[in-house]
Amino acid sequence: MKKRKIIFFSHVLVLGMFVLFSCSKSEKVTPINPAPPRDTFPQQTAGLTVDAISQPGSNITNYLLYIPDGYNSQTEKWPLVIFLHGVGEIGTNIDVLRNVGLPKVVKGKPFVMIAPQCRANWWNTDALESLYKTVVSKYHIDPSRVYLTGLSMGGMQTWDWAEAHPERFAAIVPIAGRGNVSLVGKIKDLPIWAFHSADDPTVSVSGSRDMVKALQALGSNVKYTEYPNGGHDSWTRAYATADLYTWMLKQKKQ
């Protein structure tokens, strides 16, 4: 009788160990709450570099790229600022962009910046749209925090691109430019801060004044800074304005 009890309890012990092992193994294979997969983007070199883009028939083939410190270690997506240069930087020597406008002062800023170079003629909205889509998918970018700015020819294209695709941007900063007054209804709800010099001999200050006046007539909260002097170069002071970046980065597309 005693021998039968020992055999019985031995069987119970073996069965219990088998059940425990099976449960443990099952838990390892199928966790109850698996963590969601994380976004993965290639590591990037911090600072200002040059990257290329293949767009057949486009007059944009490369761009300056600024990657902020912490980009590779931060899991959250980054704001993106697109900078458009003026006529003086048209060509194939992209290094000239390093010393003008936003690229000149971008070091230390908490956002990704791209500054494409227009090789000839004028900015093309379709080419810029293609660039936008490539960049947003290639880098760790928050699509709800994309900002557009430009000077002179780039300031004009800032107005034009925003009027063509207002849904793209959280805010725009056109400098020393002009836009299509008849289309301001498309951007009346878009956060805008425009800059111009009153004595600009190249692009008349009326270009910005007219746009701002038309926007205000529609109830827009457009911001406008007009310098009493400085000629065509209103961008050096504009991009040195610390409040500009504070204001801009607070804007987020709904």
CATH code where residue 244 lies? 3.40.50.1820
pLDDT of residue 23: 42
Question: What pLDDT digit, counting tens, does each position of 31-48 carry?
Answer: 444 433 445 678 898 999
Asked if pLDDT for residue 92 goes beyond 70, the answer is: yes
If one counts the domains in the chain, the total is 1
C-alpha radius of gyration, the chain, whole number: 28
27 in a domain, yes or no?
A: no
32 in a domain, yes or no?
A: no
**Average pLDDT rounded to a whole number, residues 241-248:** 98
221 in a domain, yes or no?
A: yes
Q: What is the mean pLDDT of the chain?
A: 88
Percentage above 90 pLDDT, the chain? 76
59 in a domain, yes or no?
A: yes
16 in a domain, yes or no?
A: no
Comparing C-alpha atoms, which of 63, 41, 66 is closest to residue 52? 63
CA distance 143 to 137: 9
Which range marks the domain in which residue 138 is found? 47-250
Contact 146, 170 (CB under 8 A): yes
29 in a domain, yes or no?
A: no
**Average pLDDT rounded to a whole number, residues 88-96:** 95
Select the more confidently predicted residue: 144 or 73.
Answer: 144
36 in a domain, yes or no?
A: no
Question: What pLDDT digit, counting tens, does each position of 169-199 carry?
Answer: 999 999 999 999 999 999 999 999 999 999 9
86 in a domain, yes or no?
A: yes
The half-sphere exposure of 217 on its side-chain side, counting CA atoms within 13 A, is 11
Question: What pLDDT digit, counting tens, does each position of 97-127 carry?
Answer: 999 999 999 999 999 999 999 999 999 999 9
Torsion of CA 26, 30, 35, 40, to 10 degrees: 120
Asked if pLDDT for residue 241 goes beyond 50, the answer is: yes
